[in-house]
Amino acid sequence: MTFYDIIKSIIPLLAVLGMLYGVLVLVRKYSFSLSGKKIKNLHIDVVHNQLILPKKYLSLVRVKDKLLVLGISENNITVLKELDYAEFADTTENDSAVKGNFVEILKQNLGMK
């Protein structure tokens, strides 16, 4: 094998690596980011997760002006209750010194005492 043959095989390798790097740059630039810059625009905030059974959770999620109570298992996510976040924010502002835990907030909003 001559020096010319080695150079001839390295050039396509470098071209393919350059194209892969270009695709990587485009994907990172235009894809969904979890770093916090783009996720703030979605207005989604997980308020609290409560473990019920192994791999089964109740989750309180704020989406814009709605508060969702979600049942999360290994295979699916179910919306259990949809609340208005403004009403929830008003009750917590009055009790700013005492924040209720997830179970108390859930019982309060479901009408259980």
Q: For residue range 38-77, what is the model confidence (pLDDT) as tens digits?
A: 555 677 888 889 999 999 999 999 888 889 999 999 999 9
CA angle 58, 60, 63 (to 5 degrees): 140
Q: State the pTM of this model.
A: 0.47
What ranges in 1-113 are assigned the alpha helix state H? 3-30, 85-94, 102-110
Domain ranges of the chain: 1-31, 41-110
In the sheet where 77-84 sits, what is the strand order? 44-53, 56-63, 66-72, 77-84
Per-residue model confidence as pLDDT tens digits over 84-105: 877 766 655 555 444 667 778 7
